[in-house]
């Protein structure tokens, strides 16, 4: 008889929405606007989060075109754990037509843990161009970094044990409705 893991919800749909709204305002304030700003999501859950963040940036600054200045950055082939993890099909990298040269790139991911995904994203970016700067926005920072990487914009700092798992459940990725989106900790 197997036991199901104990889960605790730490963020609901409204919490996720509020976090993205707050992060969008932080970005505009830190950048003093949205000139030369590009938003790139890291698949899987970083892509819909980046899209929502870009929409919120557009609502804060109408000069920001969410469709033209957002995209996706697949890091699959840049990961350092390709041999030790199950194979995953790479997803398309979609950059804005303007590219990333001389832009401020906001990388978006769901959970920051070891920092290895972000390191892979930085490697992928360097193959695609030379941004002026790169900033990191994450929905959840759970700690336990293995690399010296930190997020510039965090929805929620969530201290966790190493044996716990943080799951982000999003509409369009995880088969939940928008109202049932959540961040949960599994023990």
Q: Identify whether 44 is preceded by a cis peptide bond (ω within 30 of 0).
A: yes
Within-domain flag for 97:
yes
Which CATH number is 99's domain given?
3.40.50.2020
Gap between the Cα atoms of 122 and 124, Å rounded: 5
Within-domain flag for 53:
yes
pTM confidence score: 0.94
H or E segment at 57?
Answer: helix 46-60
Domain that holds residue 113: 18-81+90-160
User: Do residues 56 and 21 lie in contact, with contact meaning Cβ atoms separated by under 8 Å?
Assistant: yes
Within-domain flag for 174:
no
pLDDT at 3 over 70: no
Bin 28: left if φ > 0, else alpha if -120 < ψ < 50, else beta.
alpha
Q: Which pLDDT tens digit goes with each residue over 14-50?
A: 999 999 999 999 999 999 999 999 999 999 999 999 9
Within-domain flag for 173:
no
pLDDT at 4: 61
Within-domain flag for 2:
no
How many distinct structural domains can be found in the chain? Answer: 1
Within-domain flag for 36:
yes
Within-domain flag for 182:
no
Within-domain flag for 170:
no
Q: Which pLDDT tens digit goes with each residue over 145-167?
A: 999 999 999 999 999 999 999 99
């Amino acid at each position: 008889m197997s036991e199901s893991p104990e889960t605790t919800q730490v963020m609901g749909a409204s919490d996720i929405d509020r976090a993205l709204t707050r992060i969008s305002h932080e970005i505009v304030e830190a950048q003093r606007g949205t000139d030369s700003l590009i938003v790139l999501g890291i698949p899987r859950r970083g892509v819909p989060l980046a899209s929502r963040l870009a929409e919120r940036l557009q609502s804060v600054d109408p000069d920001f075109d969410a469709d033209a200045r957002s995209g996706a950055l697949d890091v699959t082939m840049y990961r350092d754990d390709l041999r030790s993890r199950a194979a995953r099909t790479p997803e398309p990298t979609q950059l804005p037509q303007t590219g990333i040269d001389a832009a401020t790139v906001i990388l978006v991911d769901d959970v920051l843990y070891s920092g290895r995904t972000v390191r892979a994203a930085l490697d992928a970016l360097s193959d695609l161009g030379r941004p002026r700067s790169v900033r990191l926005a994450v929905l959840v920072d759970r700690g336990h970094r293995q690399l010296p990487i930190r997020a510039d914009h965090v929805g929620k700092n969530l201290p966790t044990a190493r044996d716990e798992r943080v799951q982000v459940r999003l509409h369009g990725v995880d088969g939940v409705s928008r109202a049932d989106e959540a961040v949960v900790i599994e023990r």
